[in-house]
Structure formats: structure tokens, C-alpha cells
Amino acid sequence: MIFKNIQRAVPILFIFVVLLHKSLYALDYVNKDVNIGIFVNISSVALGCSKSFIIEEDNTGKKLKFSKGMVNLICTFKGIKINNYTLRSPIKILPSNDVVFANSQAYQGYLYIKQSQNKMTIINVLPIEEYLKGVVPKEVSTSWPIEALKVQAVISRTYTIANLNKHKEQGFNLCSTTHCQVYGGLSCQAHLSNQAVKETNKEVLTYENNVIQAVFHASCGGRTDTPEYVWSWKNIPPCLKGTKCRYCRNAPYTKWEQILDEHFIHEKLSQNNKIGKIKKIKIKGKTSAKAAKELEIIHTKGKIKLNAYKFRTLVDAWKIKSHTFDSIKVKNDKIYFKGRGWGHKVGLCQEGAKGMAEKGKPYKKILLHFYPKTKIETINYWK
Ligand SMILES: [Zn+2]
Ligand SMILES: [Zn+2]
């Protein structure tokens, strides 16, 4: 009888372990390497290595060998020209020491080049954990406390895993600009940000077994917001419903003012709308985080309504720091804006994370403050 029970216990335990494993890892395994589009649709590029390197045609295996130094690649309709040779796309640049230069920037891993018409795209292929070392110091200052850098490392890793298909049609995973995450290669790496990546190795944020869309912004101005009025997302998970933030009070642009010419705004809005001279701008509705929902623009030919976040991006997202407007006034051909915070207000407030870290909060606590009800879990990479 005892023997029978032991026999049954094994498969039950096995099923339990399998289920537990499933519930822990939304993405059981992801590729260790990521493909980053570092130069998109360009005509020429200077590439090289401080040691020997090989340029290889991916489809035929045809190789050109170089000792250290730089070569110019020029894209023509016939192929990619290197000195007196023309290679057919795609090609690989394989450095012997794992460091390759492209237009004076150093990158770890190797480069993959794809041609389309007479333009080429340079893709840096490297392990995700190494890629993050070139992202964290570009997204936050490396003078920030280590716990704030660890927060950014987890957020950037989570963002990477959740957005691997963002540039699928162009043949790579993510680009190296603010459109995805800013990536500066090896040249921008710093000791503390590297430590933050290492100490959070493989950690990502999940909600109900899915890696979340870990969006972030510079400073929220008092409360983070839902993405409802920013990107019109539906079925918003509780981790992105917004939260109070009193830690970014001393950040730059917590309160800001901007004066812009009516003519400047008129010109920007005229690209998509037929409008006359702007007479008044009314704030129509506010979100729970006090951001404007819509703006009504009253002009000499009538009036239009615009989503407030869209208005900001249409006019100039750099000059207008956020759509959390306290007031908008039109006077003598000038438009006077007063507002709070910097960015779209959704997800993590980076300045708030810095403020919490300065108060001694550990990175896991900071993450759970800005993304409530999430879990910090580890992913597995394919070897
Ligand atoms: Zn992108
Ligand atoms: Zn904040």
C-alpha cells in the first residue's frame, strides 16, 4: 500500500512542477541575441575593427579578410561595394575580438547588413544582456543611485522582450532611437549601469504570466496616468492604471512654462487640419492624473477638437513638455502654456524612481510602486 502511494506521488509531483514552471514563465525561452537597427536606409558607412575582421556574404559564404583598420561600404543597385569588390546582400561583419566600429561608434557582437534598393540597413547582433548595457546609460544618468539604475535595467529588459516584433518588417527587432530605446553601443557604457544590468540579470516584469508593456517617461508631475487618452489602448491592465508619485517634486519640469508664436502652432496644426488664426485654446476634460483629455482650438474659421497628447506631439513634444496643462492662454499672437511633468505620464516616472532610490527604497519596491500587481520574474535565454 505504501509502495503504491509512492508510485502515484511521482507523476502528481511532476505535473505540479510543470504547472508551476508554466505559471512562472510567460515566455519560456527567448533568443539570447537581439538585432538592433543602428543605421537605417543609408548609402554608405565606414566599418572596421582594431583587430582582424571578416566580411562575409551570408548566402554564399564568400569571405573578404581584413587586418585591423577601417573600410568604406557603399551601397549601389548592384550590391555593396567594398574597395574593388561588390558583395551581395545580406552580409556579415565579423570582428575577431567581438568589437566592431561603425561610423566611429564601437559595438559589441557583430554587424549584419541588409540591402533594399540602393540603401542598406546596419544591424548590430549581440546578446540582450550586453545590449542593455548600451541602453541604461542612454535612458538615465549614470550619476543616479544604483537602485534607480536597476529599475531602468529591469524596465529596459522588459520593454525589449515585449517589443521584439516592433521592426519585424524591416528585418530587425528594435531601432536605436527614442522610437524604441536609445542605444549607444559600447562607447556609452559605464561601470554603475553595467553593474545594474548584471545584478538584475534576466529579470522582467510580468502581469498574469505576460511580460508587460513597461512604458516609461521622464517625470509625471504628481501622478502617473492610464494610456487610455495617450495611445487609445483598450483593456488596460491594473499595472498601468496610474499611481500617486510624490518623489519627482524636485525634478526639472515638475512645473514648466512655455511661450510659443501663434504662427508656429498654426503652421504645425495646418498640416492635418484646415484652420484660421488661433483665438483661444480650451482644455476639455481632465484625466484622473490631471492631464488634459482634449483641447478645443477656436480659430477665425471655426473650431476643432484635438486629443491633448496628440496636440503636443503634432506641435513639438520637446517644446511642450507634457499634456498636463494647468492653463493655456492666447494673447497678442503668442500662446502661453503652463504645465507639469515631462512626457506621456504612463508607466514608470523615471525622476520618481530616482527620488525613491534617494530615499533608500530598493529597486523591487520602486517597480511595484509604479507597476502595481506585477511580478518580477526571470526569463530563460536559448543558448
Ligand atoms: Zn524603433
Ligand atoms: Zn513622478
- 190 with 283, same domain? no
* Cβ atoms of residues 329 and 336 within 8 Å: yes
Q: Cα separation of 206 and 211, whole Å?
A: 4
So what's the pLDDT on residue 23?
34
How much is the mean pLDDT over the chain? 90
Q: Which of 70, 113, 72 is nearest to 93 (CA)?
A: 113
* Cβ atoms of residues 220 and 290 within 8 Å: no
- 111 with 221, same domain? no
Q: Look at residues 91, 126, 161 and tell me which one is the last residue of a structural domain.
A: 126
Would residue 21 count as lying in a domain?
Answer: no
Q: Look at residues 94, 126, 158 and tell me which one is the last residue of a structural domain.
A: 126
**pLDDT value at 61 more than 80:** yes
Would residue 15 count as lying in a domain?
Answer: no
The parent domain of residue 225 ranges over 134-246+345-378
Q: Cα separation of 25 and 87, whole Å?
A: 42
Partners of 225 in beta bridges:
346
CA 139 / ligand 1 centre spacing (Å): 14
Burial-class residue 14 by CB neighbours within 10 Å (0-12, 13-18, 19+): exposed
CA 236 / ligand 2 centre spacing (Å): 20
Where is average pLDDT lowest: 6-10, 227-231, 276-280? 6-10
Would residue 95 count as lying in a domain?
Answer: yes
**pLDDT value at 12 more than 70:** no
Q: What is the pLDDT of residues 175-208, one digit of tens each?
A: 999 889 999 999 999 999 999 999 999 999 999 8
Would residue 28 count as lying in a domain?
Answer: no
So what's the pLDDT on residue 13?
32
> Minimum-distance ligand to the CA of 176?
1
CA 56, 61, 66: angle at the middle one, nearest 5?
A: 35
Which position has the grid cell 491592465?
Answer: 237
- 276 with 173, same domain? no
Return the C-alpha cell found at 177. 532611437
Compute CA distances 137 → 151, 188, 214, 338, 344, whole Å: 12, 7, 17, 30, 21
So what's the pLDDT on residue 5?
32
Partners of 337 in beta bridges:
258, 328
**pLDDT value at 210 more than 70:** yes
Would residue 90 count as lying in a domain?
Answer: yes
Domains contained in the chain, number: 3
So what's the pLDDT on residue 272?
82
CA 343 / ligand 2 centre spacing (Å): 10
Would residue 293 count as lying in a domain?
Answer: yes
Q: How are the residues of the chain apportioned to helix, strand and coil, as percentages rounded to the nearest 5?
A: 30, 35, 35
Q: Cα separation of 286 and 245, whole Å?
A: 18
Please list all protein residues whose beta carbon sits less than 5 angstroms from ligand 2, which is an ion.
220, 245, 248, 349, 352
- 211 with 103, same domain? no
DSSP string, 325-364: EEEEEEETTEEEEEEE-BS--BSEEHHHHHHHHHTT--HH
Would residue 326 count as lying in a domain?
Answer: yes
Q: Which pLDDT band, with edges at 50, 70 and 90, does 106 fall under?
A: very high
So what's the pLDDT on residue 6?
30
So what's the pLDDT on residue 96?
95
CA 358 / ligand 2 centre spacing (Å): 14
Rounded mean pLDDT of 139-147? 96
Would residue 304 count as lying in a domain?
Answer: yes
* Cβ atoms of residues 306 and 270 within 8 Å: no
- 38 with 111, same domain? yes
**pLDDT value at 3 more than 50:** no
- 318 with 284, same domain? yes
So what's the pLDDT on residue 27?
57
Return the C-alpha cell found at 155. 524596465
- 362 with 241, same domain? yes
Please list all protein residues whose beta carbon sits less than 5 angstroms from ligand 1, which is an ion.
175, 179-180
- 315 with 284, same domain? yes
So what's the pLDDT on residue 28?
63
Phi, psi of 369 (to 5 degrees): -70, -45
Element (H, E) at 82: strand 79-82
